[in-house]
Amino acid sequence: SQKIEQNSEALNIQEGKTATLTCNYTNYSPAYLQWYRQDPGRGPVFLLLIRENEKEKRKERLKVTFDTTLKQSLFHITASQPADSATYLCAITLYNNNDMRFGAGTRLTVKP
């Protein structure tokens, strides 16, 4: 069966450290993968998109990698801040299809 799994429900780290979140998928051939941020009581907000032929993408303190052999994406937040505390969702989009399938999310807490 098709699955999208994010490594843990919750991740706690100290301010200034790098947070690394994992997204693994099975029985999908994604055209691209996206990461979204969701704050309590709000809708998800787009952060980064990486295509299946790209290895890495960066945006300010954010970095995403995509390994189609391992069927895994890693999402990094460097120099983390308490304001980065939120739930982070990965989402897969398939070829010839513009709907997305989401993972369950990882709730990140950055402690001062």
Partner 1 sequence: DAGVIQSPRHEVTEMGQEVTLRCKPISGHNSLFWYRQTMMRGLELLIYFNNNVPIDDSGMPEDRFSAKMPNASFSTLKIQPSEPRDSAVYFCASSGLGGETQYFGPGTRLLVL
Q: Give whichever of 28 and 32 is closer to partner 1, judged by the CB atom.
A: 32
Is the CB of 61 or the CB of 101 nearer to partner 1?
101
Number of H helices, E strands in the chain: 0, 11
By the rule CB under 8 A, 96 interacts with partner 1 = no
Q: What is the dihedral of CA 104, 4, 34, 79, to 10 degrees?
A: 60
Q: Phi, psi (5° rounding) for residue 42? A: -130, 165
> Does 28 help bind partner 1 (rule: CB under 8 A)?
no
46: contact with partner 1 by CB under 8 A: yes
Tell me, residue by residue from 53 to 92, as one string, x for binding to partner 1 by CB under 8 A and - for no binding: ------------------------------------x---
Give the Å distances, CA to CA, from 80 to 20, 59, 83: 10, 14, 8
